[in-house]
Amino acid sequence: MSWPFQEKALAKGLREPLGAPDLSLDGIHPMQRPSTLPGMHGEKIGQYRLHLLAADLNISGQPRQLALLLKELIPASGKAGEHYFYRHLATHLPIYTPLMIAGDDNAGWLVTLAPGELRAPESWDVDDYRAAVDSLAVLHDCYWGLYDDLDNFANLRHPLDSGHNHLVTEIQDAVRFMIQNYPEFAVSRYAVLLECLMDRLEEIAGTLKKEPFTLLHGNYWPDNIARPIDGGRQQVANWHQAAIGPAVLDAVMFAQQTVTYLQPVFPLTAALARYRVQLRELRGEIIWNDQQWNLLWDYSLLWLLMADRLPWIVALPPEMYHEWHPSLQRFWLDPAAQILKTRFGVTLPG
């Protein structure tokens, strides 16, 4: 089987982290995949492919085998930039990430050291959720208000800033596609919902842009967090959607993805309350009162529905969309309709 990398480039990437300047790579072959890898949901929905590989090494005349994880971004799923992120930002993060070995953003692939045995997201306990929200608060605090510094990293997304006009066009195309291709969106209720949100997109974005910007993971939830079965530190993986924006966007995505695909043993209201407390203690000030938080939460959900979920849905195969529609309706569309009513006084047709 052919791989996107050259073996000598992979050997070069392994020498420094292993402290083995004489390392040679004798071969690469697929390994049997474990039941859990970070990012398996993203693979399922067609964002990328994951391969677990065994690297046969020779170090100072001694054979050794190392497990590696190859991630190949599917071009239609978006812009690659993860290798750049690992090279220039990952080592400065206050949280743990997988060890990057090699990659190529133009070709859309990344090789990291494979994790050991992991606890499946479905089996997370309360302490796992606590650790995850604590890490999110630490990440956001570290880069709080550092827009100018983060803007120097060219491959970070700017969902509310420099790419906004392009994004509006993408959202308009997605709305048009949904109404034309899926009967559920041709009915008056959801068609009106999307049209109302389009009319208010600038207002929604404007409110969110008033917040301090920080470094966002972009899709922070248990599927993208490697939790070692032996209780070691969590590693946050899959940074291809890393962005600059208000912290609440990461918090909303964490809650929405978790409640959509998992049955968390730790109530998300408690998890989010803990996140706010942790961030308040780290910042030494109250960041949001309840009224401010609730407003930002509502606007973030509306923004993510339009700017993240709709373009993603458009890229799904029809059969996968139909499987996912009930969750879309329950966790995104119906809450968005309620927010339109309470925040903007808009009542949708039945």
pLDDT number for residue 5:
93
CATH at 38? 3.30.200
> d(Cα 44, Cα 257) in Å, to the nearest integer?
14
* Tens digit of each residue's pLDDT (9 = 90 or more) over 186-216: 778 888 999 999 999 999 999 999 999 999 9
**Residue 2 is assigned to a structural domain of this protein:** no
pLDDT number for residue 274:
98
pLDDT number for residue 185:
83
Residues 146 and 90 in one domain: no
* Tens digit of each residue's pLDDT (9 = 90 or more) over 214-262: 999 999 999 999 999 998 999 999 999 999 999 999 999 999 999 999 9
pLDDT at 337 over 60: yes
Mean pLDDT of 132-159: 95
Residues 78 and 205 in one domain: no
Mean pLDDT of 273-282: 98
| DSSP label of 215 | E
| 3-state SS class at 228 | strand
On the 0-12 / 13-18 / 19+ scale of CB atoms within 10 A, 166 is exposed
pLDDT number for residue 184:
80
Q: Output the average pLDDT for the chain.
A: 93
Where is the domain boundary, 49, 80, 113? 113
pLDDT number for residue 168:
81
CB count within 10 Å of CB 219 equals: 22
Where is the domain boundary, 90, 113, 136? 113
**Residue 349 is assigned to a structural domain of this protein:** no
**pTM of the shown model:** 0.95
What secondary structure does DSSP assign to 60-117, as a single string? TTEEEEEEEEEEEE-GGG----HHHHHHHTGGG-SS--PPEEEEETTTTEEEEEPP-S
pLDDT number for residue 79:
59
Residues 105 and 151 in one domain: no
How many domains are there within the chain? Answer: 2
Q: In 182-333, which residue ranges form alpha helices assigned H by DSSP?
A: 183-186, 188-199, 201-209, 248-261, 268-283, 290-304, 310-314, 318-328
pLDDT number for residue 170:
85
pLDDT number for residue 329:
93
> d(Cα 155, Cα 44) in Å, to the nearest integer?
25
**Residue 134 is assigned to a structural domain of this protein:** yes
Where is the domain boundary, 81, 113, 145? 113
Residues 253 and 163 in one domain: yes
Residue 214 makes CB contacts below 8 A (sequence gap 6+) with: 139, 140, 141, 142, 143, 144, 145, 146, 150, 244, 245, 246, 247
Could you list the residue range(s) of the whole structural domain that residue 213 is in? 121-344
Residues 173 and 313 in one domain: yes
User: pLDDT band for position 313 (50/70/90)?
Assistant: confident
CATH at 269? 3.90.1200.10
